[in-house]
Structure 1
């Protein structure tokens, strides 16, 4: 039982709740998710089953796409709408679409971000939220993030003393969209927080390819839940593919080093497959030019 379940995480569930549910439905402990979503956030959460758990680090590294709503006029201790308000201000300006998009454009590329206190980042062996819940503030390590694109999606809505708008952002690993919303507010001159978030894409998996918890349960009742699992190769479509003949498949099965295949476009990693079956992920050898060594090898039950 090996494959990737493209799940749509519902609001109110933790990512661990989803993993626990899939473990029960599929009858295996070998299940992992590919990037934590806060409980009140819904969206694409690929779940790896069986040998697909070896791909968790690769899927965690992929770009994620979100649709977020930012509210100008108040900031909170958690940087989202569920924390206590810590600062308020009346938004007096009538921001234009062009003004806001210009501010958003400034975030494209690499920048430094400080993770929020209410986050799972570890400092001195403890999660930041553990300090925050005790009313403590600690120095947080800066991290470099990358934003591929960011685009305003809605009108600028003035609601009493506050302003709201939605934007789409495609970003790399480690980006806190909550903090991005606060930073956008800073650039516009007002306290701000994230008032809504949906993850619409993780790597090659988008909303249209996902299943809900209810759909997985219904498939289980019909004994068709295994049909929902995608092949392992679906999780690493960004890696160049080498098709294996019987001899190469045998060498890969035994974890042997290989000559770097011809025709690759300078990539340091590539996947080796037989049809849809992912046999291994190889990478260039750090000390032997022209040689590739296995990074991950997959052994299936039928083997």
Structure 2
């Protein structure tokens, strides 16, 4: 007989004096009070295109619009979200699961780096364990009420992206690319994976589309000719916009002050993203 079954007939459990029964009851509540209205996975087949930066900026922009927002850092082997927000403290614990730390503007955050003794300690896990860790972050964290959860995925089409798309209630996927033709080729693999799994693609964002020369103000396509809109058209998915390479943003992310960053381009992309979410969600939630 299992512990749960034996507790039903135990007098100590019935009169409330059994601590084991109380513990079982508390554990059964883990995740029961979470209500995430929209889960957006940020994905790319290629590493180094700025998925974590885009995830952070989208979460920040949504929060500035008054939404309750959380970030699930699913890049277990390469987590960077906590550093960008300047969060180093360990998460707490509630009767309903792990209590995610909140950023200065009130964004809830969960990442493996918050659980490590040192932020540069490596995670040396095989694929199934990585996927299981991400599921635990979703199921055993006390997220409570969120209008939007941004899931920052690792690059590629392996175990973790597959687990998120198949096992988590994803509203839609945002694809991140950069101008290089080589990157576009690899990113198309993620687009096709998402389509094969029949998950809605909310749109494509081209990151690092160029840089403005600080001397003359000329826009330079240092990473190649912009091709994000062309890729979106070829794959028949929405194009949300582009983000330039900004030294100020890089400095703020390194210093943990990304929440101080202002960008009209991010604002415009967020507006388009919300329109796509409303199109995919028959009863979209307003802030």
Q: Which category of TM-score, normalised to the shorter sequence, fits these structures?
A: under 0.3
Structure with greater helix share of residues = 2
Q: Which has the larger radius of gyration?
A: 1
Q: Which has a greater percent of strand?
A: 1
Q: TM-score, normalised by structure 1?
A: 0.24
TM-score, normalised relative to structure 2: 0.25
